[in-house]
Amino acid sequence: MNSIRQWLEPRPGLTRVLPFVIFLGLTFCQLAPGETARYWVYAAKMFVGIGLIWLAFPLIAELEWRFSWEAVLVGAAVFAAWVGLDGFYPKFQEAGEIWNPLVSFGSGVEVAWCFIVVRLVGSTFLVPMLEEVFYRSFLYRWIAKPEFQSVSLGTLHWKPFLVTATVFGLAHREWLAGILCGLAYQWLVVRKGRLGDALTAHATTNLLLGLWIVGRGEWRFWS
């Protein structure tokens, strides 16, 4: 592991891109056939993601959580927009096979709840780190200047600001909510001049959305 870290250290761009790309590749593996296969793939993806973050964390100085009520409010507002806009604009595609382990595992309720907890924890803590490092730390600054580390996180560049938010949004089925989400998180990074508040906002959004999905049975958001 140390040898991989040493290889990545002089490659700051790859350090921020590779974990995200690997994680994204594993996401496509969730399309594996079988009623329950995707749940096991998702759980495996979470463990791989933890390893990727552990590998890259010492090499990414800006990967630091910061709590602020502003970040929590932004995260809550994004959640409200994500849920509130549903049904008012066309999605890229209809929801695929619904991610609902309570149905897939039938009588195996304990196993089903284990996967629900894994997804809640993963989407709240792991996904924000992988996505924010890629989109807000790397992509935004790289579009502004290929020598991205020379670009301050707190500097507003309109082209990267809009492009990054759009790319982030188009990566989601709920593209409009995703674009608004990307704009909000990027605004936090620029306003605060650091990545940590966006991590907190993203975690807040995903936690509230996960609790909404489980509490109200709105499983289509996890398709």
R_g (Cα) of the chain, nearest Å: 18
What is the pLDDT at residue 222? 87
pTM across the whole model: 0.95
Tell me if 53 is assigned to some domain: no
The residue assigned the tokens 């982030």 is 168
What is the pLDDT at residue 107? 67
Answer yes or no: are the C-beta atoms of 18 and 130 closer than 8 Å. no
The count of structural domains within the chain is 1
Question: Domain containing 89: what range?
Answer: 62-222
Q: Could you tell me the maximum CA-CA distance found in the chain, to the nearest angstrom?
A: 55
Question: Where do the H-state alpha helices sit in 57-174?
Answer: 69-84, 101-104, 109-121, 127-132, 140-144, 158-170
CA 169/CA 163 separation, integer angstroms: 10
The residue assigned the tokens 């791989």 is 48
What is the pLDDT at residue 128? 97
Tell me if 204 is assigned to some domain: yes
User: Which residue stretches of the chain have pLDDT < 50?
Assistant: none
Tell me if 126 is assigned to some domain: yes
